[in-house]
């Protein structure tokens, strides 16, 4: 994990049991499956809580994360297209119409609007058979 990735952490206020606002920090974890972590710390009563999430970031956290750090697309060049598509379908649970639409966009960038962690996961799944580049999306 690079320094930049290690420091890619969003924060937001959350209500604490003591009646004041605590601070929730959260970010993406690298791994074979998409994971995330969150930690809550209340400076008023000292309460702390940590959690590791499975699968994808919850939608509200994901939206905040993209607002803070931007979204990316994935450019995929070279490699055997059938195998690339097989892996992408398995990884992303794509239905056939979505898979065909994605295939028409290759070499990409495809899957724009992804978080950095999602893009890293896709790169890891394809890096042995294709050239995969993570491309920042144009600001909306
Ligand atoms: Zn508190």
Given its phi and psi angles, is residue 21 left (phi above 0), alpha (psi -120 to 50 degrees) or beta?
beta
* 19 and 36, same domain (yes or no): yes
Q: The domain containing residue 78 runs over which residues?
A: 72-136
* 39 and 77, same domain (yes or no): no
* 62 and 90, same domain (yes or no): no
Three-state DSSP at 53 gives strand
- Among 40, 69, 98, identify where a domain stops: 69
* 87 and 120, same domain (yes or no): yes
1 has a pLDDT exceeding 50: no
pTM: 0.83
pLDDT given at position 33 = 67
6 has a pLDDT exceeding 80: no
* 52 and 64, same domain (yes or no): yes
* 65 and 24, same domain (yes or no): yes
Query: β-strand 110-114 against 72-77: which pairing, if any?
Result: antiparallel
* 79 and 64, same domain (yes or no): no
Cα 51 to middle of ligand 1, angstroms: 17
Cα 38 to middle of ligand 1, angstroms: 16
5 has a pLDDT exceeding 60: no
Cα 9 to middle of ligand 1, angstroms: 21
Contact 84, 129 (CB under 8 A): yes
* 15 and 53, same domain (yes or no): yes
* 30 and 83, same domain (yes or no): no
* 64 and 76, same domain (yes or no): no
54 has a pLDDT exceeding 90: no
* 11 and 46, same domain (yes or no): yes
Q: Could you give the maximum distance between any two Cα atoms of the chain, in Å?
A: 57
Cα 58 to middle of ligand 1, angstroms: 23
Number of domains making up the chain? 2
- Residue 57 banded pLDDT, cuts 50, 70, 90: confident
């Amino acid at each position: 994990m690079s320094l930049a990735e290690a420091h890619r952490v969003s924060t937001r206020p959350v209500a604490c049991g003591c009646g004041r606002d605590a601070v929730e920090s959260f970010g993406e974890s690298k791994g074979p499956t998409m994971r995330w972590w969150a930690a809550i710390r209340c400076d008023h009563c000292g309460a702390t809580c940590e959690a590791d999430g499975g699968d994808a970031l919850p939608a509200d956290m994901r939206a905040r994360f993209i607002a803070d750090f931007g979204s990316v697309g994935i450019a995929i060049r070279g490699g055997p297209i059938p195998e690339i598509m097989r892996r992408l379908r398995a990884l992303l649970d794509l239905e056939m119409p979505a898979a065909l639409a994605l295939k028409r966009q290759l070499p990409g960038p495809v899957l724009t609007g992804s978080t950095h962690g999602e893009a890293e996961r896709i790169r890891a799944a394809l890096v042995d058979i294709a050239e995969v580049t993570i491309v920042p999306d144009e600001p909306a």
